[in-house]
Structure 1
């Protein structure tokens, strides 16, 4: 019964092929008839337009010349009139209305043709469509018109593969007979496709279809070639009728035959050939495959497709090769026995790198000036490098151990990926430059994996291979730079890549391979000397090479030094860079000096908050002198040295010195007040006051420096806003959770005015008011906002100072308020309001005057509403008398001021 169903399936498959061929023939005849109808319709339209199109003005004038009257006579009725001219005329002769009505011919209905203006407007409307819309509409139209051909071709391709599988597995014949039948049917299908192609080429209209993706003969030929691929694989894998070499030769021949047929039958043949070639092994299941033969077959298909791409110059073929090739390699790596993996990698992974990464843009001879057809996205070297790296890491993940030969191959593979595009000229196309980052990163990951997992006892060979790789990477970027490539990416790779890899490895060896840290430090010194020699040899690279040399030295110091020694070392290095700049001896680039100085400033800024950066005896009173004084001296010296030679850098050193000096002063002040150097976890009332004042003043310093900065103006401004934000947050803390009105932070027995209230509220208020008065730079913060904040702080200080003066035990709100304290609030309000009103009136500052009047109004309300209830006896009388006397006196002062202003005006009149 099973044999019957199998025979029936074979018969149905053959019938389907025959029906398809018959349907294709009918489609061809219908296309011929439609083409003939189009021709006849075009001829009819041409004749109709020739018959009904009016003659041109030139022909009219030429025909009317023998019948025209003399110029002085009026025109004859049968003569052509100027009104019949479809084009507007600039000059027209006056004609009487009756004559015009008499001469007007009957209207003739003519076909309306679009004018030139309409055509132009239509063209503009079409051009307004975006490129994406045009391509999307074009793709949609192609799918609507040709989906039958595409789906049918794919169905025939799959059906051919299944037919070969059925013939080879289920038909009761000898193995040779099965293979012969499958091969004969496949070859017959190829011959039928070629015959159909020659027939189509006889018609010029249908021959044009060979240039597109809707060519029917290509679908038939692709089906036959897929059957040939499957037959050869079946004969080798299942029946061993062919040797591996013979199978590979036949498959390669089929692949190159597909190349030749693609040249004849167009791109659809190429697409179907690629689909059939790469999918042929999927139709054959069963026993364990020969991984070498299968990889060789996939490589042969890729080689044939690459040759086709170079011949017909279609860029879309490149991703059509890369994606299935990489997927097959990944599948084989995951399925292959581990004992065969390394030898397989050494052959086919290397071929894949050459075939996919280099050839599409450089040709078989790896010429950088090869005329390729690749676009930016059709062959992205960085993406292909990532795919190759994924294959290597997948293979490495399957290995249980790695010996020296395998380690050398992995490093050589990634190094070849870097050097392959530049192997002939020592320089490469710029499109390959970003791909250098991929193997460089892979080399670092490979070294970590080998050292920690695979070769834990063989750390020396790993570091040796890594060092050689870094040297080759440095040479690669150097030769690219010396070849005249002035792109930004080339400069970054030359300056950053090799030193970064060296320093990262130095840090890793210091943490995890302590036995080799000294040796790698010597290698790091060699890299620094290498850049120093390059700077001496090539003057155009001197500034950058000197900067990189200093960066390597700073990185080495970061690994080996800590605490105050590291801070001092960075300071000394900054001074050396300043001396080099002043003496113009292998001077570093200005940006390098700024970066080094910025690192020093940031470290000294964060020093009070990070205990690990502080010396062991951080609790000593001289800790600030030990940590800050050497850096301050060096910064001052560098500023003095550069003051005449480089004003820009001198300004930078001046700003850095000022910032570090402020940090030292505030840190030492905080220690004297709180007994500690300001850890973030121990912020209390006193430290919050100190930090708030420090943030306010340093924010003003940086806003001042931003006026003279160029490149770092935005950095200074951001730092100012950050510090002012911290000041606001600390003031909110001081007026809420740490407020003396809520917590007994300020003793009522302490000396008035000279206490922490003045430091926490009066001092920042004075700073804010002076900032407004002196019109110092407050960036985008309006000065009225700054002045208002200062006045609020001053008012809070005044109120809390009055309460601290009158309270005998504690100034918190839990204590009762006496009558003397309430009266003092009124007196203080009258004095402040009167002064503000007087100052505003004399200086003609209406805003200040209004604030003073508002204060006086508040005091009046307090007296009439609060003091009446809270005061009694003598205090109530004094309160009302004082309010009245103050208001009367203020009114008298206003009258006197008005008279003094009015008298000069009368004299002038």
Structure 2
């Protein structure tokens, strides 16, 4: 009896609440009507007031200022007419009342009460069912019928309240709408009743339960058009959970994914009508989770239904929602806006930088609009859903009896087509490119992973078509690139992005397939496919350059770069060793030569990129033909053509484009040509002096000396080229090479490879020994370079070169003295002899005197400073070292010789220098002063 009273009280409470709600809504409508009438009557007098004010002001102005010109009067009288012509129902902007802030009472009464009420209704229904079950009052069938009727009553009540509600209620309380909450509670009750009838009491079979739950979910999705996006989310969640709640004896993947596809289409159609973005994103994620979990968990999995559902998803994005919602604004308008000047403030005469963004900011904003449009959540989640599920189709964890390779190709092509069809869905094309690259990697490496099948990790299946799949994907992207460029020819950023995508994806697909599955010595399949792709890229660049003069040069360059990449793959597939390097060099110089027939700005840059690829290939295999195949004959071996021919091509390219308008390009080609030349000479020296091998130990002093001389010579060549044809690369390149040579001299010649520390033998012949090439020749080279750099390079650089020359000559003289006393081995462990110590003083003083005389000849103060330093060092040696270590006649001769030299130097300064006129400027040898 108590249970029946509780049930009756609940029903009466609900009816009373509904009646009270209707009366409250009626009063609200009456008050709103009265307020609108008051506002209309008040606005009726507003235009007259506005006209009277300006008219009076104009009359006063005309009376007090009769000297005002007629043009000014006419301008003054226009203002009242303009104001009078405005509609009377539009109040002034400054008198428009602001929207009042919601009070705590309104929040509690209009929002909190609705939320808690909805929860209370759901809990009341649950408790009512529990009470009936515990008391045993009603049979299960009656309880289910009552629950279903209660759910239907809630949904009907929600619809009735919505129809009778205030017009602005949905806007004011969008997140606390009573009709939507009642409808949601009714839908949950119905779904619960159907599930209980199937899973708990077994009143209905799985098919009936599945159909009924699906109908309720679709009904909720339809009602969401009236009640908002939140209810659509509930219907979508119920639809996605429905297959989990139904325990079928023989589940069919065809029925499952057909139902999920219908649910997804219904959600997208509802979202299109409501212009929603959140529900479609969750629908994409839900479908992806279903597909991925099914493919991994089912053994074996039927992949075709999953693939078809993905195709439905892609087609829905293309033609249902968002379709072409973001494609309305043409990019040409945006590009034209970038060329408009910044508006100037006429009151101050200066432009307002904050009002109008700079072109760089505009370009960044336009790129963001292209990559992240308004409906980006839908496109991104949809592309992610296809990526995750599509890779699961061919993944190693998916066990299937068939071969889903072609299904993967179809899904990838469809996603790529979506990005080509819709300009604002370009992220789908980018995702398709990533999907293609990852898919080719998976297909190509799957045979290797099959070895793990013994532990049950990888499905045992064969993908013999993986090379064909990779080549097909490359062809698909090239064809769709042509379609996208043709369809959206007025969108330059779209063209740039698609050109780069097609180039990178096609090269990656064919290259990865060749790298993993190809035959390195000779592979005609990959070679011919790459050659055909290169021809296709060049053809696209030619067609669109002829069709549209405004076709972006960046997009054209990306197409040509794709052709170059394909040619590099073809060179590796169709040749080996030396021929591969030569073919790559020929391709690079071909793009440079093409500038004679096509004046495309991108051609020489692609040629320069080709030479960079040649350098990368050489860096990967410096011996060109492999260490075992490389001959030991100096110079006449594979290194000469492998390094020399690309160097000649690079030199010819730099010379051919010496008048090209781009300074950056000229400097780049000049740098590449110089690098190739130095690299050729250095590698030949290394091979000749290392016994016909490149991979040996650390270089000796003789080998390092040749490298140093090469760098010094290269610096001199660049300096001479800068004199004949000035350029920033020649200028800074000569300084950079000179600095590198100085570092090599300090680290190797003086410390690391110094025979005094290493103990390296100098050779049997004095003077013509290791010291000659290691110290004297580099010192003389530095002196010649310093003389050439006077007045043409910074003084600090010239001084550094001159100092290096003096240090190397001083080291040569010192070590030559030690060789004269110690023989071919001058290692430090041998100590010093008395005569050797005395000879050092004589030689150092002689060098100081020679430098002093040379300074008189060339009028060089710097040489006098070096001479003074050398003499000062000799004085320190005599007084500190010779006094302690020499004895007898040698010590006396050391001090006597030092005294005579110092007195002679003093006489030199007193008699000779004071008798000559002071030079106007200090110069180094050869300055001509």
Question: With structure 2 as the length reference, what TM-score do the two structures score?
Answer: 0.69
Instruction: Check if 1:476 corresponds to 2:480.
Output: yes
| CA–CA separation in structure 2 for the residues paired with 1:143 and 1:787 | 86
| CA–CA separation in structure 2 for the residues paired with 1:15 and 1:839 | 122
| CA–CA separation in structure 1 for the residues paired with 2:206 and 2:720 | 80
CA contact (8 A) 2:878 2:894 kept: yes
Alignment of 1:702-851 (within 5 A): 728=743, 731-736=746-751, 738-747=753-762, 750-775=764-789, 782-808=797-823, 810-834=825-849, 849-851=864-866
What is the count of residue pairs matched by the alignment?
804
Shift of 1:362: 0.5
CA contact (8 A) 1:414 1:442 kept: no
Q: Match of 2:758, SS?
A: coil
Match of 1:627 in 2: 639
Shift of 1:461: 4.1
Match of 2:509 among 480, 501, 508: 501
Match of 1:896 in 2: 911
Q: Match of 1:814, SS?
A: helix
Match of 2:430 among 434, 437, 441: 434
| CA–CA separation in structure 1 for the residues paired with 2:261 and 2:611 | 56
User: Which range is displaced more, 457-466 or 878-887?
Assistant: 457-466
Instruction: Check if 1:362 corresponds to 2:376.
Output: no
Match of 2:402 in 1: 403
Match of 1:683 among 687, 699, 714: 699
Instruction: Check if 1:189 corresponds to 2:192.
Output: no
CA deviation vs aligned residue, 1:413-454 (integer Å, no higher than 9, x gap): 22222224556x9x8854544233133224413532666559
| CA–CA separation in structure 1 for the residues paired with 2:18 and 2:847 | 104
Pairwise CA RMSD: 5.9
Match of 1:593 among 586, 607, 611: 607
CA contact (8 A) 1:326 1:387 kept: yes
CA contact (8 A) 1:259 1:305 kept: yes
Instruction: Check if 1:180 corresponds to 2:145.
Output: yes
Instruction: Check if 1:389 corresponds to 2:387.
Output: yes
Q: Match of 2:405, SS?
A: helix
| CA–CA separation in structure 2 for the residues paired with 1:550 and 1:742 | 51
Query: Structure 1 residues 529, 703: CA separation in 2 closer, same or farther (over 3 Å shift)?
Result: same
Match of 1:863 in 2: 878
Q: Match of 1:745, SS?
A: coil
CA contact (8 A) 1:836 1:848 kept: yes
Query: Structure 1 residues 268, 468: CA separation in 2 closer, same or farther (over 3 Å shift)?
Result: closer
Q: Match of 1:232, SS?
A: helix
Match of 2:191 among 224, 229, 234: 229
CA contact (8 A) 1:543 1:589 kept: yes
CA contact (8 A) 1:575 1:635 kept: no
Shift of 1:26: 9.9
| CA–CA separation in structure 2 for the residues paired with 1:252 and 1:240 | 18
Match of 1:415 among 409, 413, 421: 413
User: Which range is displaced more, 492-501 or 545-554?
Assistant: 545-554
CA contact (8 A) 2:496 2:558 kept: no
Match of 1:318 in 2: 280
| CA–CA separation in structure 2 for the residues paired with 1:287 and 1:751 | 99
CA contact (8 A) 1:659 1:698 kept: no
Match of 2:441 among 445, 449, 460: 445
| CA–CA separation in structure 2 for the residues paired with 1:489 and 1:379 | 20
| CA–CA separation in structure 2 for the residues paired with 1:509 and 1:401 | 23
| CA–CA separation in structure 1 for the residues paired with 2:876 and 2:382 | 81
| CA–CA separation in structure 2 for the residues paired with 1:289 and 1:237 | 16
| CA–CA separation in structure 2 for the residues paired with 1:236 and 1:588 | 69
| CA–CA separation in structure 2 for the residues paired with 1:732 and 1:766 | 19
CA deviation vs aligned residue, 1:153-212 (integer Å, no higher than 9, x gap): 89569859977997999996665434323322322332343455456x24x6755424x2
Shift of 1:621: 2.9
CA deviation vs aligned residue, 1:740-775 (integer Å, no higher than 9, x gap): 22232034x743432222323333344444433322
Query: Structure 1 residues 197, 390: CA separation in 2 closer, same or farther (over 3 Å shift)?
Result: same
Shift of 1:38: 14
| CA–CA separation in structure 2 for the residues paired with 1:874 and 1:13 | 133
Shift of 1:367: 11
Match of 2:172 in 1: 209
Q: Match of 1:379, SS?
A: helix
Query: Structure 1 residues 606, 480: CA separation in 2 closer, same or farther (over 3 Å shift)?
Result: closer
Give structure 1 stretches of 5+ with no counterpart.
1-6, 42-55, 63-70, 72-118, 124-136
CA contact (8 A) 1:703 1:717 kept: no
Q: Match of 1:589, SS?
A: helix
Alignment of 1:258-337 (within 5 A): 258-274=220-236, 278=240, 298-335=260-297, 337=298
Q: Match of 1:741, SS?
A: helix
| CA–CA separation in structure 1 for the residues paired with 2:754 and 2:914 | 47
Match of 2:685 in 1: 669
Query: Structure 1 residues 563, 840: CA separation in 2 closer, same or farther (over 3 Å shift)?
Result: same
Shift of 1:476: 0.6
Query: Structure 1 residues 456, 838: CA separation in 2 closer, same or farther (over 3 Å shift)?
Result: farther
Match of 2:180 among 195, 210, 218: 218
Q: Match of 2:826, SS?
A: coil
Shift of 1:858: 2.7
Query: Structure 1 residues 831, 185: CA separation in 2 closer, same or farther (over 3 Å shift)?
Result: farther
User: Which range is displaced more, 565-574 or 583-592?
Assistant: 583-592
Question: With structure 1 as the length reference, what TM-score do the two structures score?
Answer: 0.71
Query: Structure 1 residues 195, 870: CA separation in 2 closer, same or farther (over 3 Å shift)?
Result: same
Instruction: Check if 1:618 corresponds to 2:580.
Output: no
Give structure 2 stretches of 5+ with no counterpart.
36-49, 57-63, 65-94, 331-368, 451-457, 548-555, 921-929
